[in-house]
Amino acid sequence: MKKKLRRIVSAALSAAMATSLAACGNTAATSTTAATSETNAAAETETKAEKPALTPAYSVADFQTVDAEGNRITTGRDATSKKAVAVASKYEVSQVGAEIMKKGGNAVDAAVAMGFALGVCEPFTSGLGGGGIATIHMKDGSNYFIDFREVAPALATLDKYVDEKGEPNGNTKKGGLASGVPGECAGLLYMLEKYGTMTRAEVMAPAIRIANEGFTVSTYCANAINDAYQTAQEFPEMQKVYWDENDLPYGEGAVINNPDLAKTLQKISDEGADAFYKGEIGQAMVDTLKEYDGVMTMEDLAKYTVLEHEPVEGEYRGYKIISSPPPSSGGTHLIEILNILENYDIGSMKINSPEYVHTFTEAFKLAFADRAKYMADTAFTDVPLDGLTSQKYADERAKKIDPAKAMEEAAPDDPTLFEHTDTTHFSVGDIDGNCVAITKTINYYFGSGVMVKGCGFMMNNQMDDFSTDKDSVNVIEPGKKPLSSMSPTVVLKPDGTPFMVTGTPGGSRIFSSVAQTISRVIDHKMTLLDAICVPKIWNCSNKNKLDYEKNLKGYEEYAVTEDTIAKLTEMGHGEIKTAASGSVNSIIYNDDGTITGVGDPRQDGKAVGVD
Ligand code: GLU
């Protein structure tokens, strides 16, 4: 009886999930047919032992994300502190960040602890099998950019990813060939060693605890797990963690632990990154990927190196923008867009009015035209970064915008084809002025689908962020990093002290989302919560099209209306449609000396302050 009930719930969820995950911008999970009666026949005949009841390591009992009608709740997402704030797309993880800072850790210690913890309780967006990038501002005024993006393995040549006609064969998306060499473990530990103050054991303890004791499955998480039903059929190792004793995806309210991942994290905590890159964890990765035709070797893993680059810097109305250089395109185009917007009195435009949408989307088109032409791993191609981020260049670009008519500009390529929308961003700031913005990812939800046997973590499918077009600057090449859009950003006040810490997931919608958030705070003097909640608009190409987001409940006043769409159509905008994405978990330093963090209500974001 119990099984039957769960099956019905699961089937209903799977129908709902397509809508819900599409609403979150999740293009990864395509299954809409999870938990069919046929596939559940096995569950009818064989009942496994009940898994033991668990009490989650961090309680989220006082946090509601969705109301009775299914609307995302926008209240209870923020926290203000005189000392420090941590904000992630999981409440548990924000609690981890605040706990570390309360124990005397700085923002970097907190960020590293949060990074490891996110891989456990938001396993579908990031983890040890993935990579990321971080922008750090330290209290002495120095800025750093840490690149722990994945690298294409030495044997990952283009021919493995295309058919005889040169068309993509699907290998960038799932299975053993889809993964780049993961950078997360090395990246987080590098940051800790260089800019943190605590020991590995101290910052990894919370993640290990969550992996052992479990975390509570939210509505959002349940949808993600359920939507991966077909993937879990194809790559059954992940069933061990994310399915219950009746062979069905865990539902909302369940508590999931992951003892294999706890062991993996413990080993890294005891022995350091070498345990991952040179020891038995690495060997398990190589062996598991090989079973699914992967080509990653122990040599690829041993060679993985974290890089530091100069962050890209720009200015917007006197505020300083510090953000991500290649291998991400994000920071560069964030600055280019803001530089273009500087030519307009944005503050006088009503948000999401025809004039506002037109100005932003034309700026996005110009940035995307440059992106397709110039952006790739700078170890493989020269990128004119200074030009792309210069105000003068942006002023010239702005002249191309006709205030009355949408631009038709030929695209050298459509970059949206190369990226997907499933990642995580978190921000930490302390009152001393140390701030960390990290965006990290395994790319699609649950990455390539491959869980490393006995180790409990999912492998990335970051190879899908490359182009399979041999003429693209971002074409697959061994040893190269795929182009990203991730834009972890720190905004400084004119006096050089921190103002905002921001970023978001959302694939190629990332930097235009960040630009809108920053502009709303600076140009419209909005609260951070409103700046995050007001619906956004996007154009992720230089083609004549436009996406807009439906408003969250309570933000009707800023909706893109039928009238606005009619006016935009009159101005020549084509292909206007709805879309969604993002989880802009950000921090603002207030004038009264306090710090406010806001978790994005579109996912499970919630800030926690240190008291
Ligand atoms: N893999 C994408 C990138 O690196 C991020 C995907 C996402 O944000 O969801 O830009």
pLDDT score, position 418? 33
Q: What atom in ligand 1 is closest to the CA of residue 581?
A: 9
Q: What is the mean pLDDT of the chain?
A: 90
- Mean pLDDT, to the nearest integer, of 63-73? 95
Q: Which of 484, 487, 504 to mutate to test ligand 1, by most ligand atoms within 8 A of the CB atom?
A: 484
- Mean pLDDT, to the nearest integer, of 116-139? 98
**pLDDT per residue over 382-439, tens digit each?**
888 888 999 999 998 999 999 999 988 633 333 333 334 579 999 999 999 999 999 9
Phi/psi region, residue 459 (left: phi>0; alpha: psi -120 to 50; beta: rest), is beta
**pLDDT band, residue 581 (cuts 50/70/90):** confident
Instruction: Give just the sign of the alpha carbon dihedral 312, 112, 72, 257.
Output: positive
**Would the CB of 488 count as within 6 Å of ligand 1?**
no
Here the tokens at position 584 are: 């802009």
**Would the CB of 26 count as within 6 Å of ligand 1?**
no
Closest CA to 501 of 424, 586, 431, 594: 586
Inform me whether the pLDDT recorded for 282 exceeds 80.
yes
pLDDT score, position 382? 87
Highest mean pLDDT among 48-52, 376-380, 510-514: 510-514
Closest CA to 397 of 465, 470, 333: 333
Q: What atom in ligand 1 is closest to the CA of residue 149?
A: 4
**pLDDT per residue over 465-476, tens digit each?**
999 999 999 999
Is 269 annotated in a binding site? The answer is: no
Inform me whether the pLDDT recorded for 97 exceeds 50.
yes
CA of 586 to the centre of ligand 1 (A): 18
Lowest mean pLDDT among 128-137, 412-421, 506-515, 516-525: 412-421
Inform me whether the pLDDT recorded for 24 exceeds 60.
no
**Would the CB of 441 count as within 6 Å of ligand 1?**
yes
Domain ranges of the chain: 2-43, 92-308+434-465, 310-425+502-609
- Mean pLDDT, to the nearest integer, of 259-272? 98
pLDDT score, position 447? 97
**CATH, domain 310-425+502-609, list 1.20.1260.10, 1.10.246.130, 3.90.950.10, 2.60.40.1180:** 1.10.246.130
Rounded CA-CA distance 101/526 in Å is: 28
**pLDDT per residue over 326-355, tens digit each?**
999 999 999 999 999 999 999 999 999 999
pLDDT score, position 278? 97
pLDDT score, position 530? 98
Bridge partners of residue 439, in order along the sequence: 133, 425
The 8-class DSSP code of residue 177 comes to G
Inform me whether the pLDDT recorded for 11 exceeds 90.
no
- Mean pLDDT, to the nearest integer, of 282-303? 98
**pLDDT band, residue 44 (cuts 50/70/90):** very low
**pLDDT band, residue 271 (cuts 50/70/90):** very high
Burial 292-317 (b: 16+ CB within 10 A, else e): bebbbbeebbeebebbebebbebbbe
**Proportion of the chain above pLDDT 90, given as a percent:** 85
Helices (H), 272-329: 274-277, 280-291, 298-303
Inform me whether the pLDDT recorded for 111 exceeds 60.
yes
Is 442 annotated in a binding site? The answer is: yes
- Mean pLDDT, to the nearest integer, of 482-510? 97
- Mean pLDDT, to the nearest integer, of 152-180? 97
Is residue 421 within 8 Å of residue 74, measured between CB atoms? no
Inform me whether the pLDDT recorded for 294 exceeds 70.
yes
- Mean pLDDT, to the nearest integer, of 561-572? 96
Q: Which of 324, 485, 487 to mutate to test ligand 1, by most ligand atoms within 8 A of the CB atom?
A: 485
**Would the CB of 504 count as within 6 Å of ligand 1?**
no
**Would the CB of 486 count as within 6 Å of ligand 1?**
yes
Inform me whether the pLDDT recorded for 32 exceeds 50.
no
Inform me whether the pLDDT recorded for 3 exceeds 60.
no
Looking at the chain, the number of H-run helices and the number of E-run strands are 20, 19
pLDDT score, position 580? 87
Bridge partners of residue 132, in order along the sequence: 148, 440
Here the tokens at position 66 are: 């969705």
Ligand 1 atom 5: residue of nearest CA: 507
**pLDDT per residue over 208-250, tens digit each?**
999 999 999 999 999 999 999 999 999 999 999 999 999 999 9
E strands of 190-303, at which residues?
215-216, 255-256
Give the number of other CB atoms < 10 A from CB of residue 611: 10
CA angle 496/499/500 to nearest 5° reads 130
3-state helix/strand/coil string of 302-342: HHCCCEEECCEEEEECCEEEEECCCCECHHHHHHHHHHHHC
The phi and psi torsions of 160 (rounded to 5 degrees) equal -80, -10
Single out the catalytic residue among 288, 332, 423, 439.
Answer: 423
**Residue 19 annotated among the catalytic residues of the structure:** no
Highest mean pLDDT among 18-22, 29-33, 274-278, 579-583: 274-278
